[in-house]
Structure 1
Amino acid sequence: MQKWFPKVADIEVELDTKLRNASTDLPLEPAIAEMQKREKRSTNIIVFGLEEVAANTKEERIAHEEKKVFNILKNISANRFKMHRFGTHDQNKKRPIRVIFQTKQEALEILKLRNNLGDLEVYINECEVNLTSSNEAVWADENEARLMKHLMADYDAAVRPVDNSSLPLTVIFGVSLHHIIDVDEKNQILTTNCWITQIWKDYHLRWNASDFAGIKVIRIPYQRVWKPDIILYNNADPQYQSSVINTNVIVSSSGEVVWLSHGIYRSSCDINVEYFPFDVQSCQMKWASWTYDGYQVSISFQC
């Protein structure tokens, strides 16, 4: 799978807050003041340098990572957050972790840390701040607005974004199981908490970064772009739409689109309890496009 995010170049600013051995003279006030102005940003941080954990199951590895991140952040007021790894597992590879706080203020507290974080590197994400000049931050906003206008001009979200209409559009689809909420044997329903990742190339969402002040990545409301209508076919939840949280799409200058979503899914599952309590159950979540066939959308499933 391609390395889709995060590349250091994609994090719009590092604020000089690479907090490994952070110095006490770090000019925090301008950064905090600027971040406070952002209504929909500054709730995320990226943690680099956490090594992969040898574990028997994915759930054990996630639990270990959550504990380690919590220990790192225990000196701040935040105590509720969700997290996940970026990219796919590769031996001896340190994949970054994204931590999403409940509130912007909790995320801001990370700036105030002065303790030595060892080999870890922490970056503030989703904030276009330049500590040397507030005018430069405004200029970044103007260029982003100009880029958005350029991309959305004549864009039709109903049209499959391919250069050749006779070829299928490949969508990389990944499901990350956070945890199993419930197994209802009587009604044959499995309830899970999952994170969904979808990646594809949009031929119409490409630009030359040098024409827009070097901007290589932009976030666009998901309602404004074409998306593959991949759904859970064996869904058993009448409130399916309301249980899924969709985020902005992350668009790179190459046209690569990353769409992250999170939801509580209730899927039908054939459960045989004949050998209970020594039974082993296998449940499938069946995902596919609702309206596109394989000649139009080709799905590459990633675990």
Structure 2
Amino acid sequence: MRIARRSVRYVWATTTLLWMLLSELVQANIGDYLTRTQIALERRDETHANRLMRDLFANYNKDVRPVFNYSDTVNITMHLWFKQVLKVDEIDQILTIYCWTEEFWNDQFLRWDPQDYGGLTVIHLPIDKVWRPDILVYNNADMNVRENELSTNAVLNYTGGVLLFRAVITKITCNLDMTYFPFDKQVCSMMFASWSYDGGKVTIKPKGTKNNLEYYIENTEWKLENFGFKANEKYYDCCPEPYYDVTYSFVLERNPSYYILNLIIPSVFITIVTMVGFFTPYSSTGENTEKGGRKLCQHVVRCRMNGGLEYHDTCNHVESVDMPSTLLLPGNHNRSVRKRGGLKESNFRLSSSSSDESTDSCLSAPMASSLRRIIVTLDRIDDKLDKERLQRTIEKEWEQLARVIERVLMILFIFGTVLFALYMLQSTEHQLLNID
């Protein structure tokens, strides 16, 4: 009887335990099933692009160079479209340029099978989500690079290829040679390279096309010519590793029409007026002095009021040869210098002094006194006439000297003007760019 009771209790306990285990197992399976069902339903409503983005960037680190083997190199292909020359600052030696750039590289961490994502082969995503090479313009004159760059999306394909288009307004430094202004040509360049990665980590090379001016917008003052590019491998003193860069070089030729109308033609007229002034006789009334001063003021005001003309401008400096002569010569020919030694004595005075004794004996005292006063007056008039004749003679001598100086200055002015014109109008040939 006792054995039967124990058996019943044992069976009941075992049955209860099994029931509890079965209940837990059923609940777990049902919960797991419901969870899987819910996930399946959610994934059914999720787009392939969202699922791809979630899977790609689950463990992605954009701060790490995108290679599985750290010794591998990231190869970057660079292409530049020259859009427009916005501004040329001759004083600060800076060019403001608007351009488009294309950069392509392969990210080994961002690859997928299109069959797993509904045949999706390309996605567009913000560039801040992926690794980006630190490609900069080495001769950039503006440190706020990101502020002048239009933020665009990157194009990612299933093989890991990343394509980035950028629209950039950049300021570059350029050695502007103003020797032949306004008939000058300027040779400038833009060097693109990685700022921190050496050639063992990142390489950069130009895209195999030369159609860089397809979208170029012409500038009214500057003509773009001889555009080319070249890949370089350089070694610096700081590091033994090579560094790669792509240098885009171009030549800008100035359109001189604006300066011809506003500078050269007025300067030619001023030069002609100056030459005519050499043949104009100087007078004591000061017309030439007024003409020279007025011409000088007009010349200075014209050169200073023209906003595009600065310290390097050619404002016909040969004209300075004529200005001092125009202002000084009128005063020279009017100068008078007293002759050294005694002047010729008046014959009238000698004759009058020799005849005083003879007249005194035969004339009365009142008559002799009146005659003496007349003789003294005539003597003074004769002295005054002699002085005036001497003054005119001296003035003529100085006027002749002034004319000689004027002719010498005229020859120097014409000679200098011709040499200056030949120097400015000679053709200037720039070295052609070597385009590989």
Q: TM-score range by the shorter chain?
A: 0.5 to 0.7
Verify: 1:187 aligned to 2:92, yes or no.
yes
Shift of 1:174: 1.2
1:250 to 144, 155, 160: 155
Number of the residue aligned with 2:138: 233
Shift of 1:194: 0.7
Which letter maps to 1:234? N
Number of the residue aligned with 2:60: 155
Shift of 1:141: 6.7
- When residues 192 and 141 of structure 1 are mapped into structure 2, their CA distance, relative to the original with a 3 A threshold, is farther
Number of the residue aligned with 2:191: 286
CA distance in 2, matches of 1:164, 1:276: 56
Is the partner of 1:286 in helix, strand or coil? strand
Q: Which runs of 5+ in 2 are unaligned?
A: 1-43, 211-436
Instruction: Report which of the two has the higher share of helix.
Output: 2
CA distance in 1, matches of 2:68, 2:186: 44
Which letter maps to 1:188? Q
Number of the residue aligned with 1:116: none
Give the fraction of aligned pairs with identical amino acids, expressed as a percent.
38
Which letter maps to 1:203? Q
Aligned residues: 166
Shift of 1:140: 9.6
Q: Cα deviations across residues 102-159 of structure 1 (Å, max 9, x unaligned)?
A: xxxxxxxxxxxxxxxxxxxxxxxxxxxxxxxxxxxxx897110000001101000011
Q: Which runs of 5+ in 1 are unaligned?
A: 1-138
> Where has structure 1 moved over 3 Å in runs of 4 or more?
none
Shift of 1:263: 1.3
CA distance in 1, matches of 2:100, 2:45: 31
CA distance in 2, matches of 1:140, 1:169: 37
Verify: 1:171 aligned to 2:81, yes or no.
no
Q: Cα deviations across residues 236-259 of structure 1 (Å, max 9, x unaligned)?
A: 114322011121110000111001
Which letter maps to 1:275? Y
Is the partner of 2:53 in helix, strand or coil? helix
Shift of 1:295: 0.7
CA distance in 2, matches of 1:140, 1:270: 61
1:217 to 122, 129, 139: 122
Q: Cα deviations across residues 251-274 of structure 1 (Å, max 9, x unaligned)?
A: 000111001111111011111010
Is the partner of 1:283 in helix, strand or coil? strand
- When residues 274 and 258 of structure 1 are mapped into structure 2, their CA distance, relative to the original with a 3 A threshold, is same
CA distance in 1, matches of 2:146, 2:131: 18
Instruction: Report which of the two has the higher share of strand.
Output: 1
Q: Indicate conservation of the 8 Å contact 1:245/1:262, yes or no.
A: yes
Is the partner of 1:167 in helix, strand or coil? coil
- When residues 166 and 187 of structure 1 are mapped into structure 2, their CA distance, relative to the original with a 3 A threshold, is same
Q: Cα deviations across residues 2-22 of structure 1 (Å, max 9, x unaligned)?
A: xxxxxxxxxxxxxxxxxxxxx
Is the partner of 1:157 in helix, strand or coil? coil
Q: Indicate conservation of the 8 Å contact 1:189/1:267, yes or no.
A: yes
Number of the residue aligned with 1:299: 204
Is the partner of 1:144 in helix, strand or coil? helix
Number of the residue aligned with 1:274: 179
CA distance in 2, matches of 1:177, 1:157: 30
CA distance in 2, matches of 1:162, 1:188: 41
Shift of 1:301: 1.8
Q: Indicate conservation of the 8 Å contact 1:250/1:257, yes or no.
A: yes
Within 5 Å, give how 1:23-172 maps onto structure 2.
Answer: 142-172=47-77
Which letter maps to 1:244? E
CA distance in 2, matches of 1:140, 1:157: 29
- When residues 251 and 140 of structure 1 are mapped into structure 2, their CA distance, relative to the original with a 3 A threshold, is farther
Shift of 1:165: 1.6
Shift of 1:177: 0.8
TM-score scaled by length of structure 1: 0.53
Shift of 1:220: 1.5
CA distance in 2, matches of 1:237, 1:140: 48
